Structure 1
């Protein structure tokens, strides 16, 4: 059985709609609490897929949250192995950081459902499955595209929303994994942030329910296509 390890920073920001897909594809899913685990001892190379999930802190917040430095070191080891790595939101920012790209505050929050603008490369990537379906955005930081990576998508408020680094690394600023059927967990868990930016949770809830079927379908299609083209047995190499 193939294995996937997902580093989680908040209980409800998990693999969402991607988890049943991974199980159907024969993956055994294991979660690791990044805030509690001894990340220095975690096997960064062994899992067939490593996923770094989102969280409401910054990719360079080492002084405030020391585990971030250990998590960045783990990401570096995984990148050196060239085995499949998926980063979502904070996870993508950590990958960008390790690859030498800038990660910085946008000066505002991008929260809510909005479609992506795919680049030419994005239209020829697994993300083409998303089409014009609005996806969930929930972030206040942004990454620059790392050297050697390919920009796949953006939005008007955040030009860099996705990048690929070779065949085995995918960084997503948006929340492809978020399960619209569990939007209430996001609305409660991030209630203070929603209030700070003046959003109405009733509107977000209604959008999530309206988009649920379409989002589940395109997320599964995009992720299954990406996994189909990754190379699990890629040899270890130094960046």
Structure 2
């Protein structure tokens, strides 16, 4: 059986809605937490599929989180081998850093449900399933577009919302996996500083989560299933 490894930067940010298409594609899923003592010994090149999820930390905070450069070095090795890799939010920023791009604070917090604008490259990609679908955004960092990748989607606040390289690499700044996971309540509780910074209302976010979440997750699952079907072994 094919193996998939999910890298969790915090326990409350898992693969959520993406689990279904990953399992349906025949992958046996394992998980590793970056804060665990065994993370330094994990071979990120070994699994058939690597999924890196989000987290509240910044790629530039290696002084606070010493696992960050370890992960970036391991990830760079995997990407050099063109091994299938998916990154979400912080995971996408990790990919950008591993490809040599700058990751930095964007100056504004993008938070809430809103669609991404899919460009010509994205229209022919798995992101086509997200056309006009409000998905969850929750970040304040961004990155320069790495060399050799195709930009797929943007928003007004942040131009670099999704990119891919060939068939085996997909990076998503937004959270199309979230919309039905009860851990959303943990986000509202633990990431309160983001809410305050964005001037966002918990009650409004709950309403939007209920209204848009199931549609976003359904579209996100189709996107991931489409991408997995196109992976080159």
The alpha-carbon deviation at position 37 of structure 1 amounts to 4.0
- Report what 2:94 is aligned to: 94
The alpha-carbon deviation at position 192 of structure 1 amounts to 3.0
So what's the TM-score if we normalise by structure 1? 0.93
Deviation string 1:41-95 (CA, Å, 9 cap, x unpaired) is 2121221100111111111211221110101011112112211001111111111
Cα distance in 1 between the residues matched to 2:180 and 2:107: 27
Indicate yes or no: 2:215 matched with 1:214: yes
- Report what 1:237 is aligned to: none
- Report what 1:223 is aligned to: 224
So what's the TM-score if we normalise by structure 2? 0.95
Indicate yes or no: 2:132 matched with 1:125: no
Aligned residues: 232
Q: Which runs of 5+ in 2 are unaligned?
A: none
Cα distance in 2 between the residues matched to 1:217 and 1:193: 26
Cα distance in 2 between the residues matched to 1:56 and 1:216: 21
Deviation string 1:8-41 (CA, Å, 9 cap, x unpaired) is 0111110000112222222111110012243332
Q: Is the 8 A contact 2:33 2:39 kept in 1?
A: no
The alpha-carbon deviation at position 212 of structure 1 amounts to 2.5
Q: Which runs of 5+ in 1 are unaligned?
A: 233-239
Cα distance in 1 between the residues matched to 2:12 and 2:216: 18
Cα distance in 2 between the residues matched to 1:69 and 1:91: 13
SS at match of 2:16: coil
- What RMSD, in angstroms, separates the aligned Cα atoms of the two structures? 1.3
SS at match of 1:142: strand
